Amino acid sequence: MNCNECKNNVLNESVSRSVYESAQAHANVNNRRLFIALLLTIILFVASNLAWIIYESQFTDEYIEVTQESESGFNSYIGRDGDIHNGETGGQNQETNP
């Protein structure tokens, strides 16, 4: 038997209509379940993000003005940018609101 005869035998086999319709029905049920699972996943994803937005909006950012005075005339402080300012001269250094 050569390959051409083998391919022809496979292609000529048929499936009964009832088996085909049964397979289609199972595929339709499976597709419907997957679609519902996808919709549920999207809804839960949006709800989760909305919950985080509501949670984060409950807090407010408050800025305070810090004043530091030194008798020696040298002040050291950490600025809003994270830089450390050492030995700045002057009687008073202030960090103000941005």
pLDDT for 39 beyond 90: yes
Q: Which residues pair with 66 in a beta bridge?
A: 95
Which sequence spans correspond to the domains of the chain? 15-56, 66-92
Q: Phi-psi region for residue 95, left (φ > 0), alpha (ψ -120 to 50) or beta?
A: beta
Q: What SS3 state is found at 96?
A: coil
- pLDDT tens by residue, 1-15: 566 666 665 555 688
DSSP state of 80: T
Q: Residue 46 pLDDT > 80, yes or no?
A: yes
Cβ-based neighbours of 94, under 8 Å, separated by 6 or more: 65, 66, 67, 68
Higher-confidence residue of 43 and 98: namely: 43
Taking residue 77's Cβ as centre, other Cβ atoms within 10 Å add up to: 14
The 3-state DSSP class for residue 83 equals: coil
